[in-house]
Amino acid sequence: MIRTLKMYFDFANKVNRKKLLSAMFLGVFKAIFAMLKIPAIAAVIQGILDDNMTPTVIWTSFGIMCVSVAGQVLIGLKTTMLQTEAGYNTCSGKRIEIAEHLRYLPMGFFNANSLGGITNITTNTMEQLADVATLVVMITTQGIITTAVIFAFLLFFDIRIALILLAGILVFSFFNTMMQRATIPAAPRVAKAGESLVSAVIEYIQGIAEVKNFNLTEKTAKKLEGAIKEKQTADTKMEFTVIPYMFLQGLATKLTGVLMCIVSVYFYLTGTMPLLYAIIMTISSFMIYESLDMMGGFSALMRNVNIIVDKANEVLSIPPMDIDGSDYIPESMDIELKNVSFAYEDKTIIDDISLKIPSGTTTAIVGPSGGGKTTLTNLMARFWDVKTGEVLLGGRNVKDYNFDSLMKNFSFVFQRVYLFEDTIANNIRFGTPEASMDKVIEAAKKARCHDFIMSLPDGYETIIGEGGASLSGGEKQRISIARAIMKDAPIIILDEATANVDPENEAELTKAIEELTRNKTIIMIAHRLKTVRHADQILVVADGKITQRGTHEELMERKGIYRDFVSERKEAVSWKIA
């Protein structure tokens, strides 16, 4: 238990740790004020025993009791505020810290880890940190403090009863430790079940259109139901693991209180303890029962604190890319790859590629699916680090730049566009939040999306659904282009930006891309002939290698993938419905 408490305090930052320690310090006084009930009751009992129940005794007892209650209430309010602030501030701080850490992880992390796992950590796990972990920690520590104060109080009055209490605390601690150890094997299953459930829910919601389209509702629902059942089973198993130890803890607590009462009465009857002390010891036994019982009830959740802290630290401990370069401004926008190789774990994706992309030119990358086209562009922008070789921007290794200064030079338009659940204006100014509305409108006009935005009910203030669900594919693409225009980066990477756009939107989208790419260095992944034939150079990538390179005219004179590609496209265009 103590190890878990230390882990939690180390997890909180310095400011929140100070608040938690302040709450613990005030907890000592709260326990002392709680103990004032004993002298208040003792004064009345002494008056009864001495047959001297005067108004002075009554008012003195009442005054002490009022001080006790008022002190507990006022200190309780302050400690609650401190622990609440510390809990929620730690939660928000760790969410931001995790988000910042995720920015600098290689993209391979997100391929290897489910969206559900990341979502579960940043939402459910952090929410438990604020709502459960802090409450558990503070109630448990308050129980420890109150028990320690009562123990010190008993030492002063009668060391024999204090030793009985100490023995009870040791037995309680033994069962508590056993409970913590017993939950260790079940904890990973509970955590995994939570991640799987979040993944299943996200997958079900995001894929609901495809599920209905292929009439797989029942099959997909069974998968979701299975995840729910697994979460239920894992949680139930954890509870069944804890219950026997909770019973033993409670039994130890109750027997400690009963033993304190019995021994106190025995000492009184044998003449080794005054009646007043025996009564005080009996009252103390009830207080110690309340303290230990409260601590024991919440200590079962201590394992949750371990899981929460471990899951957050698991993400934060993943080594980020080395991003601590310098804030360089490249002398030119020339891009060069020298003998670059890259692999996902043991699978080689890029194999000893060398190439040059001069500043201000257009380079088209074509080739079969899975050949390494997207990976190649990701290496240029340092979404991943190369395994061997080097990537240069303006003659300088991209690793020499700090990440933010490097990313200033790149804008991306992907085949699959992601828009945030926010206003259209804020989506356009996403990379430049300080941009004025005039700049937003100017970028939208260049991206050919101003007209359709103005046709929406609230224009630029229209809230779009998560992922841009309320817009068509072409509309989302044009907004993403407006966002890229706002950034005004000198290098533009287009990853099959027009692949899934209907003919109605294609003309507008093409004009938008022309505005975006004017006077820029352009790298495009494309499969449409008209988007690549005017490129300054065309790279044919297959099986992780550049198999051909040259202009459209040069490649058409050679046998190979590119000429076959063009022939297939021409043949497809000539098809007619009879």
Domain containing residue 428: 411-488
| pLDDT number for residue 207 | 66
> Which residue did the predictor score with more confidence, 97 or 212?
97
Q: What is the mean pLDDT of residues 320-332?
A: 79
Sheet holding 521-525, edge to edge: 410-414, 491-495, 521-525, 362-366, 537-542, 545-550
* Confidence category of residue 180, pLDDT binned at 50, 70, 90: confident
Does residue 571 lie in a domain region? no
- Find the helix or strand (DSSP H, E) in which 347 lies: strand 347-357
Q: Identify whether the C-beta of residue 379 lies closer than 8 Å to the C-beta of residue 391.
A: yes
My answer on whether 440 and 301 are in the same domain is: no
pLDDT band (50, 70, 90) for residue 109: low
pLDDT of residue 464: 83
412: which strand partners? 493
Say if residues 189 and 241 touch (Cβ distance below 8 Å): no
What is the predicted pLDDT for the residue at 574? 52
The pLDDT-based confidence of 338 (bands split at 50, 70, 90) is very high
Tell me whether residue 563 is in a domain: no
| DSSP states of 473-532 | HHHHHHHHHHHHHHHT-SEEEEESTTTT--HHHHHHHHHHHHHHHTTSEEEEE---HHHH
Last residue of a domain, one of 268, 300, 316: 316
Whether residue 309 is found in the same domain as residue 416: no
pLDDT bin (cut points 50, 70, 90) of residue 335 is: very high
- Across the range 203-223, mean pLDDT stands at 64
* Final residue belonging to a domain, choices 258, 282, 316: 316
256-297 tens-digit pLDDT: 888 888 888 899 888 888 888 888 888 888 877 777 777 766
State the chain's maximal CA–CA distance in angstroms. Answer: 120
Does residue 106 surpass a pLDDT of 50? yes
Residue 338 forms part of a structural domain: no
Give the model's confidence band at 571: pLDDT under 50 very low, under 70 low, under 90 confident, else very high: low
Residues near 62 by beta carbon (within 8 Å), at least 6 away in sequence? 40
Assess whether 304 and 422 both reside in one domain. Answer: no
- Specify the pLDDT at position 501: 57
Confidence band of 92 (pLDDT split at 50, 70, 90):
confident
Q: Considering its fold, how many domains does the chain have in total? A: 2
Token digits of residue 198: 């979040």
Dump pLDDT digits (tens) for 404-421: 888 888 888 877 777 888
pLDDT in tens, 76-86: 888 888 888 88
How far is it, in rounded angstroms, from Cα 362 to Cα 523?
6
Looking at the whole model, is its pTM more than 0.95? Answer: no
- pLDDT tens, residue by residue, 55-72: 887 888 888 888 888 988
467 φψ region: left (φ > 0), alpha (ψ -120 to 50), beta (else): left
Question: Between the CA of residue 128 and those of 123, 139, 186, 298, what are the distances in Å?
Answer: 9, 15, 18, 14
| Predicted confidence (pLDDT) per residue in 340-388, tens digit | 999 877 788 888 899 999 998 888 888 888 888 888 888 888 888 888 9
- pLDDT computed for residue 356 by the predictor: 92
In this structure, the answer to whether residues 158 and 268 fall within a common structural domain is yes
**C-alpha closest to that of 139 among 177, 180, 178, 87:** 87
**Token pair for 73:** 């209430």
Q: Which pair of tokens denotes residue 199?
A: 């993944």
64 and 173 together in one domain: yes
Instruction: Give yes or no: residues 419 and 312 share one domain.
Output: no
Check whether 50 has a pLDDT greater than 60: yes
Q: Report if residue 332 sits inside a domain.
A: no
What whole-number distance in Å separates Cα of residue 475 and Cα of residue 508?
10
Mean pLDDT of 182-201: 77
Question: Is 85 inside a domain boundary?
Answer: yes
Residue 111 has pLDDT above 60, yes or no: no
Q: Enumerate long-range contacts of 237-242, CB under 8 Å, 24 or more apart.
A: 237/186, 237/189, 238/183, 238/186, 238/187, 238/190, 241/182, 241/183, 241/186, 242/179, 242/182, 242/183, 242/300
Domain assignment present for 62: yes
Quick one: pLDDT band at residue 578, thresholds 50, 70, 90?
A: very low
Identify the weakest region by mean pLDDT among 199-213, 223-237, 269-283, 507-521: 199-213
**What pLDDT, in 10s, does the model give residues 546-562?**
888 888 888 888 888 88
As a whole number of angstroms, the distance between CA 369 and CA 524 comes to 15
Do 416 and 309 reside in the same domain of the chain? no
In a domain, 403, yes or no: no
* CATH assignment at residue 453: 3.40.50.300
State whether 310 and 420 are in the same domain. no
Q: What is the mean pLDDT of the chain?
A: 80
User: How confident is the model at residue 389, as a pLDDT?
Assistant: 92
Task: Please tell me which of 267-281, 468-482, 518-532 the model is most confident about, judged by mean pLDDT.
Answer: 267-281
The C-alpha atoms of residue 520 and residue 513 are separated, in whole angstroms, by 11
Higher pLDDT residue, 218 or 159?
A: 159
Higher pLDDT, 206 or 256: 256
Q: Are residues 426 and 278 in the same domain?
A: no
Tokens of 97: 């810290």
Domain limit, last residue, from 451, 471, 488? 488
- Res. 568: pLDDT tops 60: yes
Task: Name the residue with higher pLDDT: 485 or 203.
Answer: 485
Clarify whether residues 255 and 140 are in a common domain.
yes
Q: Is residue 296 domain-shared with residue 432, that is, in the same domain?
A: no
Condensed to tens digits (0 to 9), the pLDDT of residues 123-163 reads 777 777 777 667 777 777 777 888 888 888 888 888 888 89
What is the domain-level CATH number for residue 220? Answer: 1.20.1560.10
Does residue 559 lie within any of the structural domains? no
pLDDT given at position 569: 66
Whole-number pLDDT of residue 19: 84
Same-domain status, 213 and 71: yes
